[in-house]
Every structure is written in C-alpha cells, then in structure tokens.
C-alpha cells in the first residue's frame, strides 16, 4: 500500500544547482507526481510532526489500514515508540481525527489531491 518517501532536492543557498536546474527539477517532480496520481491511483501525503514535514505517497486502494499507516508515520518521522495522535485536514480545513480504520479510509478517499496529516504527541 505504501510507497517509499522521496527526499526533496536541496534548495539551500549553498546548493550547487542553478535556479533554472531547480525549476526544471521541480517541474519534473510535479509532472511525475501527477502521472503517479492518475495512473496508479496514488494519494500524496504531507505529514507534519512538530516543525518537520515529510512527503510520501500511498496507493488509495492498497491493503493496510490505520495501524500500518500509524507505524509508517512513526518510521518516516523517526519517532518509534512515541505515542501520538493523528489528524487530517478535510476540504473545509477542519482537523479531524484518524484513530481507526474507518477514519483512515475516509481520509484517504477524501484526499484530493493531497492528504495533510498533523501528528501531535499524546
């Protein structure tokens, strides 16, 4: 169900990429994400824990549920063993909980084009 997290290129001032190269790379990544979303029925996920953001993709109709997603987020954010609460921003911007399979599947089905996840310590 889950695809691996893709590291984002560095756009720091010390980066050796020219502005043109950075723009081209961003355009290619955007086109790649759009292609993935259309072909493989993939949902892009942007998760936030404290001040850190992570982006990754998961298949909308793949196997797995809340527990697997919870563990994936702990792994991606490098917080194994930390008890956290998960929430997602719905289309109106309200923060709704993800605490069981039903809420997880609803969040994934409503993600268009991005599923925004907020992780907080319990």
| Domain of residue 107, CATH code | 3.10.20.90
Q: How far apart are CA 11 and CA 25, in angstroms?
A: 11
Residue 32 falls inside a structural domain: no
73 assigned to some structural domain: yes
The mean pLDDT of 15-38, rounded to a whole number, is: 67
User: CA dihedral defined by 10, 14, 19, 25, rounded to 10 degrees?
Assistant: -20
Give the pLDDT confidence score for residue 38 in this predicted structure: 54
Give a yes or no: residue 49 inside a domain: yes
With tokens 């702990």, the residue in question is 74
pLDDT averaged over every residue in the chain: 82
In angstroms, the CA 54 to CA 46 distance is: 6
Separation of alpha carbons 68 and 12, rounded Å: 34
Q: Which two tokens stand for residue 71?
A: 């563990």
Q: Which domain holds residue 58?
A: 43-121
Higher pLDDT, 21 or 47: 47
Q: Which residue has the tokens 């907020």?
A: 118
| Angle of CA points 92, 78, 30, to nearest 5° | 50
- Structural domain includes residue 10: no
* Reported pTM: 0.66
Q: Is the pLDDT of residue 102 over 60?
A: yes
Give the angle subtended at the CA of 85 by the CAs of 60 and 40, to the nearest 5°: 10
Could you identify the residue written with the tokens 């998760």? 47
């Amino acid at each position: 169900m889950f695809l691996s997290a893709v590291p984002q290129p560095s756009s720091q001032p010390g980066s050796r990429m020219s502005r043109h190269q950075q723009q081209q790379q961003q355009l290619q990544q955007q086109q790649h994400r759009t292609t993935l979303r259309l072909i493989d029925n993939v949902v892009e996920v942007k998760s936030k824990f404290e001040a850190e953001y992570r982006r990754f993709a998961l298949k909308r109709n793949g196997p797995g549920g809340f527990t697997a997603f919870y563990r994936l987020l702990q792994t991606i954010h490098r917080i194994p063993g930390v008890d956290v609460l998960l929430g997602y921003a719905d289309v109106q911007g309200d923060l709704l909980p993800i605490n069981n399979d039903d809420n997880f599947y609803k969040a994934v089905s409503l993600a268009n084009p991005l599923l925004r996840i907020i992780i907080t310590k319990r």
